[in-house]
Structure 1
Amino acid sequence: MWPDRDLDYVKLEDDHLGIHFGLFKENMLISVISLFINNEVCQFRKFATLQTEQGKGYGSTLLDYVMNEAMDCGVKRIWCNARKNKLGFYKKFGLQDTNYSFNKGGKAYVIMEKNL
């Protein structure tokens, strides 16, 4: 997600509160995502797939799995900070643009959400 940044850049104070998922291919971690549940609402963050493995469906498989896990945990709404250039990807999963945007690290983001 931030290959040109130090590992500390992606660490967050509440990382220990998340549920962290990974997708492996032949014992190699190729896609990751973290789910942060707060009652009936959750945010997924730190969603990334190795650049060499993008476009092969691994991220889609992992996101679909995490959305089902969220529903199994009683979550009613899921949301994320989506990079503006990836909105089409998230729309395939039924997430909708909230029209709230911001910039971080030189990248433009939009908050997207979906009722489960």
Structure 2
Amino acid sequence: MNFNIKEIAHYETWDIRHQVMWPDKNIDYIKLKNDEHGLHYGLFINHNLVSVVSLFFQGKRVQFRKFATVNKQQGKGYGTELLKAMFNKLSILNIENIWCNARKDKVSFYTNFGMEETNIQFTKGGIDYIVMEKKIVIR
């Protein structure tokens, strides 16, 4: 698997977020109020952006949001590699906890990273979510 992961600008995440997560909504639906304050990563194959994730820091906690991989590239391990890189980066920072709002049908994917379900659940846009979290071991 030949790929490159690097930090990207917040607006570079928008096309993939839109086409993967909410293609039936206006593109403004996938933009976040605090996007410009987040840390955004992209996985590239041959200079083509195929997977994105956005991190938002809240003290010693980090929420990752809008994790998405281009539909035709899903199931090939690119999203897994991007999250592995993200978790590795966070493990060297002074972060105690990482969390996300996981679509219920994706919970098993996140448990593979040691994330655990909380008792917080909600529905947005007709999709059921559960908050998942992981304690980070500081190196």
For the superposition of Structure 1 and Structure 2, which TM-score range results when normalised by the shorter chain? over 0.9
Q: Structure 2 length normalisation: TM-score?
A: 0.81
From 37, 45, 51, the counterpart of 1:17: 37
What do the CA deviations read for 1:6-61 (whole angstroms, capped 9, x no partner)? 21001111111100000011111110000111221000001000111111100000
Deviates more, 1:89-98 or 1:71-80: 71-80
Aligned to 1:60: 80
Confirm or deny that 1:104 pairs with 2:139. no
From 69, 85, 92, the counterpart of 1:49: 69
Aligned to 1:75: 95
Q: 1:73 Cα deviation (Å)?
A: 2.1
What do the CA deviations read for 1:88-113 (whole angstroms, capped 9, x no partner)? 00000000000210001110000000
- Write the distance in 2 (CA, Å) between the matches of 1:67 and 1:43: 12
Q: 1:82 Cα deviation (Å)?
A: 0.1
Identity of aligned residues (%): 50
| Aligned-pair Cα RMSD in Å | 0.9
- Write the distance in 2 (CA, Å) between the matches of 1:46 and 1:113: 15
Runs of at least 5 residues in structure 1 that lack an aligned partner in the other structure: none
Runs of 4+ with >2 A deviation: none
Q: 1:114 Cα deviation (Å)?
A: 0.3
Q: Which structure carries more helix by proportion?
A: 2
- Write the distance in 2 (CA, Å) between the matches of 1:60 and 1:78: 16
From 76, 80, 93, the counterpart of 2:113: 93
